[in-house]
Structure 1
Amino acid sequence: MKKFKQYLFILVLITAVFAISACSSSDSKKGSDGQAANNEPKSGGTLNVGLSSNPNTLDPIKYTGAYESQIMRSIGNTLIVYNKDLSDFKPSLATEWKASDDLKSYTFKLREDVYFQPGKYQDGRQMTAEDVKYSLERSAKESALSRLSGVDSVEVTGKFEVTIHMPKPNASLLAMLTDPGNIIIPKEEVDGWGDQFGAHLVGTGPFQLKDWQTDQKVNLVRNDKYWGEKPYLDGVTFKIIKDPNMMTNALRSGDVDIATDIKGQNRKVIETDKNLTLLSKPGLSLTYLDLNNMSGPTADPKVREAIYKATNVEEIVKGVSQWGGASVSYAPLPKESWGYSKDLEKLKPQYDPKEAKKLLAETKYAKGFKTELYVLESRVPYATIFQNQMKENLNIDVDVKVTEWGTLSELAAKGNAPMYIGGWSWYPDPYFFLNKTFHSDQIGSLGNGKGYKNPEVDALLNKALTETVDQKERAALYQEAIKLIMKDYPRIEFDNLDQTAAISQNVQGFDIPADGSINIVNPNGTNVWLNK
């Protein structure tokens, strides 16, 4: 099989539509910021961005796909944004903010020079606190994915000041406010368009929607009344290219300037093209194997420990991601989260089949047992390698059950899956990874369908959410919680997936952050331009 894969790769390279010119790794890894340092920014041109899926709606409360958010980021603005490395927040429509002493409210002062893009039902009027109240309360009450959960109301405390009220403290509020689902929009346009507002989004961002050709492309043009730094580009066109090979060819032929969702052997094709740059870095995305903590053999902590120590995680990650794009995960928190510490990496159990057999021998399952592992089709490679390791190292017969998302999520949430392989992606705030997957109040949900419960962990997670907003203090609390979690072996950490994009040599000032967002012009200092 290995020789066949090598042959297939060589064949792909030989038959590629365009000739591949080999270059040194230093050339192929040259970043856009490094290129930009040698050139003065130029104005003009339209940036073409390839998206792998067709957007369904651009309505902030209705969107559910990351590809939709990529477009929305260029049309609208949130109150605050993350900085480039996602370690802290920066002003956007809000100039400053402050939490109350009890952490149940946040007050935001707003910019006074912000105007909406002209639309059918308003001519580009000034944005005020009333617009913020309308937009955020709409999200809190109607968001399809609860993108502003925990917010009770938004109070207008001045023409350019609002206070967000919550029934209980929630230190994750600021992270939620960066979501494109919470961009500020004009009520007139929503009321006027009704259900069609999602196809006619109006915001305060650097670009405005010009036209949308379903299944083909979305055209944006520069908003000349934009309150922030003037965009260098005249416009941005998002082209829908669902086939990954066509996406790569579109980049190499010049049909797009930025290609997204680059995976598998296409990574190598791009790396060996001197005219392209592959941008790939650890993202806020984890793959793991949940073990049922409530019933079956894995309800015994010693059995879970034996399984973890009999799992060669390095072999699994190398086998699944032979072309790159993933690294071994050491803890239930992505490396790019501000709560991560390299000290956590020593918590990962060492692969030790002999020790694993000894541990299992101390349980009533010394001779092994049969179990089921539920997976989506896309994660079968993980399951197959794990299955072989369990049989060889512990005589555990793992029956791999391939199922679709609806069935898997229901089984996992209800605790009916003995084992299942899942993935988790969210904001940099550890709350969205740890509270959602290990707090006992999440038992019965997809995040903690495994039924993990540890009162000490609950206490630490509650304290990090409700007693402080200081990131260093919260990070320390989360790291203490992780130490306890890892000692309980509730799941096996597999990998930390990369966020990836590829760009042509003409693209300057662009990078792919850990959350995978496509930022063209952003208050965090991003302003992409074309060197042609």
Structure 2
Amino acid sequence: MRLKLLAAVFALVGLPVALAQPRTLVIAQGTDPTTLDAPLATDSPSATVVTHVAETLFEYEPDGRITPKLVERYSFSPDRKVLTLTLRRGVKFHDGTDLNAEAVKFNLERLMAPETASAFAFLLRGRVSAIETPDPLTVRLRMPEPFGPVLAHLTHSSTAIQSPAAIRRLGAQYRDNPVGTGPYKFDRWQKGQFVELVRNDGYWGNKASIERVRFLAVPEGTTRMALVETGQAHVAVRVPPQDVARLNANPAIDVVRTPSVRTIFLYFNTTKKPFDDPRVRKALNHAINKEEIVNFVLGGFGRASDAPISPGIFGYQKTGNYPYNPSLARQLLAQAGYNAQNPLRFTLHSPNGRYLQDIRVAEAIQSQLRAVGVQVQIETLEWGAYLAKTNQPQAQNEIQVAMLGWGTVTGDADYGLYALFHSSQHAPNGFNRGFYRNPQLDRILDQARVAADPQARQRLYRSAMQIVYNDAPWIFLHSESQVTAVRKEVQGLVVHPTERIIAYAASLGARAER
């Protein structure tokens, strides 16, 4: 029976029941990409694919360093208002056109342009006032004020440099047909099933060892594990805690645990009653036992949040964690007018398969809230539809409470705080999907962006996070640990803290004996 089921699954994702081709690395992700156009890709599964095809000017390394990528060298003016970039010589896009200063200018201006409608425009918009190209390999970014996180922002996948010729030629179809300078070229995308890339034999750097990389869309954790156990996939993300011991006992598989910059949270639509009342928001924070969720739902593969961003990110400082206190939760709810005769009821939207044990976390929250008299209905959608629904403008947005995760993938608190809490970033053109607003917080976040002194930025972020904690626009849940199943014939694979699986330097050896 199990073999028949697996055969059906393999047919669905385009794999033969026989073992996959030996020179194709197969990675089972939880969800399908939503787009492959860099400035429009707002989730890690999309960014993982884009990263192999299109490269950024700088790279955020797993150890937190920022290193040049498409840039050979760079310098700041003495007043830190001009950043000069010298590009690598001889780099070509996959369509044969040259990487040059005009291509960089085109891409960065496209990211910032209102008509692109990139939710990541805040990375540069308003902070870069002009982009100059004095010669084919030189780019100058002019800024009205020093911009502390500029190098960190230029590591972000949305700033990846893509072929202007391809973008102009393909128009809207470019979203499904990316053209970059990376070690892999786009080959095909069977939506809902897989994306396949082929090695770029003309790559400017070290050539990839593996000929093809296939990213499968497999939401169910049990199915992903079955694929890696049978050798139909080489890598499976987000190992369910209950499967770790079994996979560890398998001599053909390594279970790899790596840190993550991702924070999981529930956000409130702060414009909808009763979530415009801080007492309700704080009550629900106190009603949820985050440590219990980490220990028993995540199997210990996480850390209860004590700040809106994770440890290891510049600007992180412990802020608070709303200790589990159901008695206080009931008191706050009663003050807001909710009790046994008039219980609080709402719908919680949750993804299924995007984050570690996401639907199980939602069910645990539902149970814990029931214990304080709150009635919760869970609703889930396919990932692309989920993102679209949560991203509706305020007037049309029906969300009351929803689960999302945010990876501070630049390693800088600006990205983890400005994007999610500044009032200029309300959906649909930003990531503040709960429409939270605090003018004092806005001023502090604006100041932190232009402060030249790192210690001053640290102090400003401490103040900012304290305001967020006090206002409780979220239920602060946990930071994830990444738990990945990797077959032992795979060498050199990188599970990046930004939640990208990177196969640039990966190789496939002989299949391990079972």
Residue in structure 2 matched with residue 132 of structure 1 by the alignment: 104
CA spacing shift, 1:474–1:136, aligned 2, 3 Å: same
Q: 1:375 to 1:295 in 2, by over 3 A?
A: closer
Work out the CA distance in 1 between the residues paired with 2:416 and 2:387: 21
Q: 1:358 to 1:415 in 2, by over 3 A?
A: farther
Q: Which residue of 1 aligns with 2:15?
A: none
Tell me, in whole angstroms, the C-alpha distance in 1 between the residues paired with 2:421 and 2:219: 37
- What SS does structure 2 have at the residue aligned with 1:283? coil
Gaps of 5+ in 1: 1-10, 18-43, 522-526
Map Cα deviations across residues 30-57 of structure 1 (whole Å, 9 max, x no partner).
xxxxxxxxxxxxxx95533334445565
1:93 Cα offset (Å): 1.0
Match of 2:457 among 448, 461, 474: 474
Question: Which amino acid in the other structure matches residue 248 of structure 2?
Answer: E
Q: Give the equivalent residue in structure 2 for 1:434.
A: 417
The Cα of 1:227 is off from its aligned counterpart by 2.8
* 2:437 counterpart of 1:447: no
TM-score by length of 1: 0.74
Contact persistence 1:79–1:93 (CA under 8 A): yes
Question: Contact conserved, 1:339 with 1:429, CA < 8 A, in 2?
Answer: yes
Residue of 232, 237, 243 corresponding to 2:213: 237
Does the CA contact (< 8 Å) of 1:292 and 1:418 recur in 2?
yes
Structure 2 runs not aligned, ≥5 long: 7-21, 352-357
Confirm whether residue 248 of structure 1 aligns to residue 225 of structure 2: yes
SS at match of 1:77: coil
2:142, 2:243 → 1: CA distance? 48
CA drift at 1:493: 0.8
From 24, 38, 41, the equivalent of 1:60 is 38
Q: State how far apart, in whole Å, the 2-side matches of 1:487 and 1:208 are.
A: 47
Render the CA deviation track for 1:268-289: whole Å, top value 9, x for unaligned: 5423322211223342333323
Structure 2: distance between partners of 1:160 and 1:500: 41
Asked whether the equivalents of residues 210 and 507 of structure 2 are also in contact (C-alpha less than 8 Å), the reply is no
Map 1:518-529; keep pairs closer than 5 Å: 518-521=501-504, 527-529=505-507
Q: Indicate the residue corresponding to 2:343 in structure 1.
A: 370
- SS for the counterpart of 1:332 is coil
> Match for 2:56: what amino acid?
T
CA distance in 2, matches of 1:297, 1:212: 43
| Identity in percent | 24
Query: Which aligned pairs between 1:307-318 and structure 2 lie closer than 5 A?
Result: 307-318=284-295
Name 1:465's counterpart in structure 2: 449
Contact 2:254–2:488, Cα closer than 8 Å, also in 1: yes
Please, which moves more after superposition, 190-199 or 266-275?
190-199
User: How big is each residue's C-alpha offset from its partner over 1:81-139, in whole Å with a ceiling of 9 and x where there is no partner?
Assistant: 10113x2311011133345567655321222242334x3xx4xx653212222232233
SS at structure 2 position matched to 1:479? helix
Q: Is residue 2:409 matched to residue 1:424?
A: no
Q: What is the aligned partner in structure 1 of residue 314 from structure 2?
A: 338
2:55 is aligned with 1:77: yes
Residues 57 and 386 of structure 1, relative CA distance in 2, 3 Å threshold: closer
Which residue of 258, 261, 268 maps to 1:284? Answer: 261
Listed one character per residue, the Cα deviations across residues 316-359 of structure 1 (whole Å, up to 9, x for unaligned) are: 444543x4543322221123533324x44xx2232234455566
Asked if 2 retains the 8 angstrom alpha-carbon contact of 1:278 and 1:503, the reply is yes
After superposition, the C-alpha distances for 1:472-509 in whole angstroms (9 at most, x for unaligned) are: 54334212321333234443211223334321112222
Counterpart Cα distance in 2 of 1:430 and 1:217: 32
Q: Is the 8 A contact 1:373 1:421 kept in 2?
A: no
Task: State the alpha-carbon separation in 1 of the partners of residues 325 and 272 from structure 2.
Answer: 25
Of the structure 1 ranges 129-138 and 168-177, higher mean CA displacement relative to structure 2 is found in 168-177
| Cα distance, 1:265 vs structure 2 | 4.2
Instruction: State yes or no: 1:493 paired with 2:449.
Output: no
Higher alpha-carbon deviation: 406-415 or 282-291: 406-415
Q: Indicate the structure (1 or 2) with the bigger Cα radius of gyration.
A: 1
Is this contact kept in 1: 2:196–2:213, CA < 8 A?
Answer: yes
Report the equivalent of 1:327.
303
Partner Cα separation in structure 1 for residue 272 and residue 93 of structure 2: 55
Q: Which amino acid aligns with 1:461?
A: L
Give yes or no for the alignment of 1:164 onto 2:141: yes
Residue 251 of structure 2 is matched in structure 1 by: 274
- Could you tell which deviates more after superposition, 401-410 or 418-427? 401-410
Mark the CA change 1:399 to 1:408 in structure 2 (over 3 Å): closer, same or farther.
farther
Query: How far 1:413 sits from its partner (Å)?
Result: 4.4
Deviation at 1:451, TM superposition (A): 3.5
Written as runs of structure 1 = structure 2, the 5 A alignment for 1:378-417 is: 378=351, 381-390=360-369, 392-393=371-372, 396-400=373-377, 402=379, 405=386, 409=390, 413=394
- 2:500 aligns with one of 517, 522, 532: 517
Q: 1:187 aligns with which of 164, 168, 186?
A: 164
| Equivalent in the alignment of 1:507 | 490
1:49 corresponding residue in structure 2: 27
Count of residues paired in the alignment = 473
Q: CA deviation at 1:236?
A: 2.8
Matching residue's letter, 1:421 = A
Distance 1:260-1:300 versus aligned 2 partners, 3 A rule? closer
Task: Write the distance in 1 (CA, Å) between the matches of 2:390 and 2:217.
Answer: 28
Distance (whole Å) between structure 1 residues aligned to residue 416 and residue 103 of structure 2 = 31
Given the alignment of the two structures, is residue 88 of structure 1 paired with residue 65 of structure 2, yes or no? yes
Question: Partners in 1 of 2:397 and 2:177 — Cα distance?
Answer: 43
Which residue is 1:147 aligned to?
120
AA paired with 1:164?
L
2:199 and 2:208 in contact (8 A); partners too: no
CA contact (8 A) 1:148 1:177 kept: no
- CA distance in 2 between partners of 1:498 and 1:275 (Å): 22
Question: Measured at CA, do residues 463 and 155 of structure 1 come closer, stay the same or move farther in structure 2, by a change above 3 Å?
Answer: same
Alpha-carbon distance in 1 for matches of 2:173, 2:376: 47
Is the 1:210–1:221 Cα contact (8 Å) retained in structure 2?
A: no
CA contact (8 A) 1:275 1:505 kept: yes
